Amino acid sequence: MRSLAVWTTTAAVALMGAANAQTAPTEGAPAAVDLPSAITAYAAYQNDVSDLRSNGVGNAIQLEEALDRVARHNRDSLTRGWIAYGAQTAAQSPAFVQGVREAAAYYGRDAVIWAVTVDPSYARGLRGGPEVTRMLLDSANADSARIVATADRYQELAYSLQRQRWANAVAPQQAARVQRVRSLGAPGGFTPSLPSEVSPRLSVTPLSVTVSDPTAYGGRRFWDAVRGGAEVAEVASTPAITHQFRVNATRGEALDRMAAVAALQALDATESHQSAVGRLIADPRSRDCFEMAQLQLYQCMSAARFRYENAFCLGQHGLRDIGTCIGAVAQPDASAALTPIVGNREEG
């Protein structure tokens, strides 16, 4: 199965280039979007991760349901939802919101709005930038860890399923199965919906959350809390964090975009600048990363012969690759023991 994952990479790269070549001429400016609708898409993915953590896979039907859960999330919606979620997390930073409002009082509200929409990196350079950077890195690492932990479960499951007759059988109609999951992940293929207990927890305004609460919006245990009620458990396989993180320079634009939208929220400008918000949350690097994960899922499944191999593809590409895309905004900071994170002015 390890060779199966390696084999799919080259084919996925080729497909990604072909897809971009076909869609680039027809893609225009991102449509205006509202943040709550965007966040729903990301919340739906994390909700499916919660279900995948708790649900068993004891037969072919349950495996098919699990495949559908990871495959039905469109790369564009997932990108916009994740950036929007990060933006609302950033808007809970007292130091950052104060810094944005101080800048607006000094330079003028319209000037700051213009600055963050034309240069997203401007926002994290304001007073409070280091605090909001730390919050965003912590949130991304926590979200990534719970997804990767779930991926571990399914990849381990793939090996144990080899001993079960139903899973060790040739997967029937695999080509149709691949086409089904591709259709689910296409634009309009799936309309996200959330359990009744989740939606109310997504309605937050700037500075409405206690940032020290790990179960609050943007916290490291938030997605567990919205589904776990009073009994919230840590992700069992997530190791204790013994070092700090700094921004990965190759992916820092995602954090810049989150902070820029948060600045618009702090200035009560998201409604009047919906087109700018739509452009900011459509982070191209994150979108490309999610797209590659999708394409590798399709290629892995195309190369799979037995049912248990589909479980491996699910864990590696439907979960682990997505978690890696999210966690890639951060990298370990070897100097963190001596000096704090310093916002978006990192070197190297």
The string of DSSP letters for 207-271 reads T-S-TT-TTSTTSTTHHHHHHHTT-----TTPPPP-S-EEE-TTTHHHHHHHHHHHHHHHTT-TT
CA terminus-to-terminus distance, the chain: 36
Q: 242: which 2 tokens?
A: 């013994």
* CA atoms of 44 and 56, how far apart (whole Å): 19
The reported pLDDT for the residue numbered 331 is: 87
User: How many CB atoms within 10 Å of residue 234?
Assistant: 14
User: Residue 262: which of 97, 139, 148 has the closest Cα?
Assistant: 97
Residue with tokens 């990363």: 289
CA distance 83 to 256: 10
Q: What is the pLDDT along the chain (348 residues), one digit of tens a residue?
A: 434 444 344 334 334 444 443 333 333 445 557 899 999 999 999 999 999 999 989 999 999 999 999 999 999 999 999 999 999 999 999 999 999 999 999 999 999 999 999 999 999 999 999 999 999 999 999 999 999 999 999 999 999 999 999 999 999 999 999 999 999 999 999 999 899 889 999 999 999 999 899 999 999 999 999 976 444 444 444 444 445 789 999 999 999 999 999 999 999 999 999 999 999 999 999 999 999 999 999 999 999 999 999 999 999 999 999 999 999 999 887 665 444 443 443 333
CA distance 152 to 89: 27
202 token code pair: 């997504």
Distances (CA, A) of 90 to 218, 251, 273, 299, 305: 8, 17, 18, 36, 45
d(CA 60, CA 67): 11
- The DSSP element (H or E) to which 330 belongs, if any, is strand 330-332
Residue-level pLDDT at 71: 96
pLDDT of residue 228: 67
SS3 percent helix, strand, coil of the chain, rounded to 5, is 65, 0, 35
pLDDT at res. 29: 47
Q: Which amino acid makes up residue 246? A: R
Residue-wise burial string across 192-221, b where 16 or more C-beta atoms lie within 10 A, e elsewhere: bebeeebeebbebebbebebeebbbbbbbb
Q: What is the largest CA-CA distance in the chain?
A: 70
pLDDT, position 9: 40
- Please state, as a whole number, how many other Cβ atoms lie within 10 Å of the Cβ of residue 70: 28
- Could you tell me which of 299, 316, 56, 303 has the C-alpha nearest to residue 164? 56
Give how far the C-alpha of residue 143 lies from the chain's centroid of Cα atoms, to the nearest Å: 7
pLDDT in tens, 62-83: 999 999 999 999 999 999 999 9
Contact (CB, 8 A) for 33 and 274: yes
Tokens of 333: 């900071």
CA distance 120 to 254: 9
Q: What is the pLDDT of residues 2-50, one digit of tens each?
A: 344 443 443 343 344 444 433 333 334 455 578 999 999 999 999 999 9
